[in-house]
A and B are shown apart, each in its own frame.
Chain A
Amino acid sequence: MKRVILIFVLLTLLIPSAVYAQSTDPWSEVFQQDGNLNPDLIDLGVTTDNPDWMSIDLPFGQSIDLDANYHRFQTPSGNVVVLPSASTLFFMAMSPQASGLTSAYGALGNGAGTLIAFLGLAVGKNLDWDKVQADHPEYKSPDQFWNAVLNGNQNAWTYFSGWGFITNLLQMSWNDGAFRSIYLLYLNGKLNCASIPGGCSGIVKPPAPSNVCPDSSVTIQQPVLSIQKIAPNNPLVVGQDTGNRRGADIQAKVTIPPVIFIWYEPIYETRTVCRIAKTGETPNCNTGSGSKVNDGIFVSVTVLKECRKHLEHLPDAVASLQATASLDAVSKNWIIGNLGQSHYEAYIHLDNFALISGYGSWKGSCDGGGTCTATGQALRVPFADPGTFNLRLNVVTTGTRFRGVLITQPRHIGADGKLQVYLALPALVQ
């Protein structure tokens, strides 16, 4: 019986499966009846953060700060849905209060199941269930134990019998950034964005609705970003590029469609109406309430004539654009290892550097339709090391305003690209 009650409680808290049937349930804003995400959701994109609870302390006060990674959506009513990466979710579960996990309205799993199922899957056999049972016989199943951990009533670290699974989990997140199995819902996340996972980055904040007309609405369209090499076809390392010091040209492009802001303007008109005369007033009209003599007095009143719809295309311009190049780990190892064996003292010259600003610049503008573009170019970049360079484009937008009122917060958006730099090695031909 106790188990049945517990399962019922868990289902109530963590799997609001009845959401589709209840229009008042906040989950009904998130999913359609067929289980797909509601198209009205505003995709806020991926946000990263460096929270204390994802920091690994090293001796001598040093630390490795891992990135928390969330993909977030905003509902029309201002709730925020957060999908953490697998490793972020694990660390959130280990620090449910500090990470804001406990302040979520609820969690809903997709293919991988519930939050409890996720923890069971992530930790696997590294949970020392015998020790849990010896210390806490009240837990009849690992699920009950995980529920206590998620509620902040149990410290899971005491019961792990392995350690390597955490680095495996991190690897899983890095290799497949899209592995996000749990939706966390934060009610009024728009208003309280400072306290939700990922903070206020990109949160849409339309002005307060008027009382007489429909609420305003905001539609954010996803920007298109790219960063790539444009010339030459096969760039050589600078040391072998001696002829004309050609280097490589990199181009970054950003196109940000306008934020569509629909609002309704109340249009009033003045009408003359006959109202019931008060004591001391001389009636000059009949209110039509059945009296055969004048019982009212003419007055001018302002009444709502219509709610005029306005559609604004608000530009979200590029405020800053940065591009970097970093040599990937495989290439670094190849230079130091393989190349170092055949070419004495082969070393890495410059594995991480800024392209824009550094070797180039950018400029941007917005057209009359509210579409903003920016283009950055880094020309004749002298890549000094052979291998694969990871190109990274980071853009911050200005956010949008209408008549001085902030409509959407600045967005942090980015894109990745790759560039291969070649090295010509001499070969003996017999």
Chain B
Amino acid sequence: MKEIPISKRHLILAIFLAVVIAIGILLVQHWPLRVEQTSTPTTSEDSLASSAAVSAVEAVFQIDYREDEAAWLKRICDVSTPTGCLLFTAGADRLWKKYVDDKSVVTAKAQAIEKVADNGSEQVCQMTINLSSPLPGSNKTQDIAYIALEKTDNGWMFDRFLMESEINAILSHQKIISTPANEGKK
């Protein structure tokens, strides 16, 4: 039998590597759970959808009363589905008049927080929005929005803001799903 001499230094290095690999394996095993809990976009599709969501929300809340309403709507429609564009355009006149009357000049920064629903061709994304200044009728500069996105031939597009009843339905559904897990951790 041939004897292989191992120095003390190599032995320590081998043990160190084994510990690092074990920690790495543990981290990888637990990583999906963390992703699910924070619902950070996990796939390239999700990433594309959340980018579309950010663009759309920033377009909606980038308001300058000195420009034309059509220019504001065009920015929104450029990142929307045709029907989403129609919906926003149909209700935009009264909204824009408010901004002109108030002389609103606002910029927005949006961030996708989590994907709260997904049926393959449509997603609902929870967003946080920060405004440079409050809009007429509100004193808030930060708010949360839930928006519906649709996968089209041109990629993910903004469809609309969800209505309160839809948001409540999604949130109550999430609550039902998360309750047994929370109980299990206790």
Chain A residues near B (Cβ < 8 Å): 56-67, 94, 155, 157-164, 166-168, 170-171, 174, 327, 329, 332-333, 335-337, 347-348, 351-352
- Minimal beta-carbon separation of B56 from chain A (angstroms): 12
| Residues A62 and B137 in contact in the complex (CB < 8 Å), given A163-B122, A170-B86 | yes
A367 to B91, CA, bound (A): 41
| Residues A170 and B90 in contact in the complex (CB < 8 Å), given A59-B129, A158-B173, A160-B166 | yes
A170 to B160, CA, bound (A): 12
Which residues from chain B contact A56 at a C-beta distance below 8 Å? 87, 91, 160-161, 163
Best-surrounded residue of B73, B90, B94 (most CB of chain A within 10 A): B90
Residue contacts A-B, CB under 8 angstroms, 23 given: A58-B60, A60-B129, A60-B138, A62-B135, A62-B137, A62-B138, A63-B91, A64-B161, A66-B91, A158-B173, A162-B119, A162-B121, A163-B122, A164-B159, A167-B84, A167-B160, A170-B87, A329-B89, A332-B70, A332-B74, A335-B70, A336-B71, A348-B68
Which residues from chain A contact B122 at a C-beta distance below 8 Å? 162-164
**Nearest 10 A/B pairs, CB to CB:** A64-B91, A167-B83, A163-B148, A59-B143, A61-B138, A157-B165, A158-B169, A332-B70, A157-B169, A60-B138
A243 to B73, CA, bound (A): 34
Which residues from chain B contact A59 at a C-beta distance below 8 Å? 61, 129, 143-145, 161
Q: Main secondary structure on chain A at its contact with chain B? A: mixed
Which residues from chain B contact A61 at a C-beta distance below 8 Å? 135, 137-138, 140
Structural contact, B90 and A66, CB atoms closer than 8 A: yes
Residue B58 at the A interface, CB < 8 A? Answer: no
- Minimal beta-carbon separation of B143 from chain A (angstroms): 4
| Residues A336 and B92 in contact in the complex (CB < 8 Å), given A158-B173, A163-B160 | no
Which residue of A has the minimal Cβ distance to B124?
A: A163
How many residues on the B side are at the interface (Cβ–Cβ under 8 A)?
Answer: 51
Which residues from chain B contact A174 at a C-beta distance below 8 Å? 86, 90
A63 to B87, CA, bound (A): 12
Which residue of B has the minimal Cβ distance to A166?
A: B160
Which residues from chain B contact A352 at a C-beta distance below 8 Å? 69, 93
- Minimal beta-carbon separation of B180 from chain A (angstroms): 15
Which residue of B has the minimal Cβ distance to A126?
A: B119
Best-surrounded residue of A66, A67, A157 (most CB of chain B within 10 A): A157
Structural contact, A57 and B160, CB atoms closer than 8 A: no
Which residues from chain A contact B168 at a C-beta distance below 8 Å? 157
A59 to B129, CA, bound (A): 9
Structural contact, B83 and A164, CB atoms closer than 8 A: yes
- Minimal beta-carbon separation of A392 from chain B (angstroms): 12
- In the complex, which of the residues B77, B94, B144, B166 contacts A163, with contact meaning CB atoms closer than 8 Å? B166
